[in-house]
Amino acid sequence: MSAENVFTLSNGEQIPVIIENRRGVRNVTLRPKLNPVREIHISKPWLTSNSFVLKFLESKRKWIEHIFDKAPTKEKIKPDMTIEILGRNVKLIHDTTMRGNCYVNEEKTILCIGGGADMFERRARDFIKNELLTEIKKIIKTTPRKYWPTRITLRDTTSRWGSCSTTGNMSFSWRLAFAPYEVMRYVVMHELSHREHMDHSAEFWATVSELYGFGVERAKRWLTKNGQHLHKYF
């Protein structure tokens, strides 16, 4: 693995480029990272030269610039602030005497995080991730069993909100927890539809619409326009 290279944005910011040789891969894969630090990770076959990879990276400059330029300024999570979680405006409070984390009202609009101040952000993040995973599983169970995944994981990706493998394994960006509920549900239905169609054909989109119902295009447009803002926390 090498971190000797940098990619210089038009504004002069230098983004470290980390190139990794990987056995069994056939293509060069670019993965821009926004946190905890801004980097570009590249996987390549063993026989592909670094010079080829860097030329390939340069050919994707417009896409790379867009990702880093549109990335929102990070906002630190702290007590007494209100953030959107699964479509609800939730106020975060802190109680150092508590060992766990929980909502303190039936409406789930006040979330109490326990533990020391140095653990506040991590504990809030872990709680939000678990809430999202639980909700995704509930949504999946509303669909016919033939669409259900074999495995679900949460990841922190910058350019993909979800994915579905040919074996039925699905992954979702945990930052969907900060999206409007119906937008998050759209991504779930999108990936479930790949259980029937591993493409983006007319038949695939018809399945998405069937699973999602009215408003699918509105949810899709929201994510395209506002998706980068889901990365402003943590």
pLDDT digits (tens, 9 = 90+) for 151-172: 999 999 877 899 999 999 999 9
Q: What is the pLDDT of residues 41-82, one digit of tens each?
A: 999 998 999 999 999 999 999 999 988 887 777 889 999 999
Q: How confident is the model at residue 35 (pLDDT cuts 50, 70, 90)?
A: confident
Q: How many CA atoms lie within 13 A of 205 on its CB side?
A: 6
Handedness of CA 86, 221, 149, 193 (dihedral sign): positive
Instruction: To the nearest 10°, report the CA torsion of 187, 189, 195, 196.
Output: -120
Q: Fold for domain 82-231?
A: Zincin-like (3.30.2010)
Q: Is the pLDDT of residue 2 over 60?
A: no
Is the whole-model pTM more than 0.85? no
Q: How confident is the model at residue 204 (pLDDT cuts 50, 70, 90)?
A: very high
Q: What is the structure's pLDDT at 4?
A: 73
Residues in the chain, total = 234
Q: What is the structure's pLDDT at 84?
A: 97
Q: Is the pLDDT of residue 38 over 60?
A: yes
* Residue scoring higher pLDDT (232 or 34): 232
CA pair distance 196, 67, nearest whole angstrom: 31
Domain boundaries, the chain: 2-70, 82-231
CA pair distance 174, 172, nearest whole angstrom: 6
Q: Residue 159: name the closest of 9, 57, 31, 72 by CA.
A: 31
Q: Mean pLDDT of all residues in the chain? A: 93
Q: What is the pLDDT of residues 106-126, one digit of tens each?
A: 999 999 999 999 999 999 999
The side-by-side arrangement of strands in the sheet containing 162-164 is 151-155, 169-173, 162-164
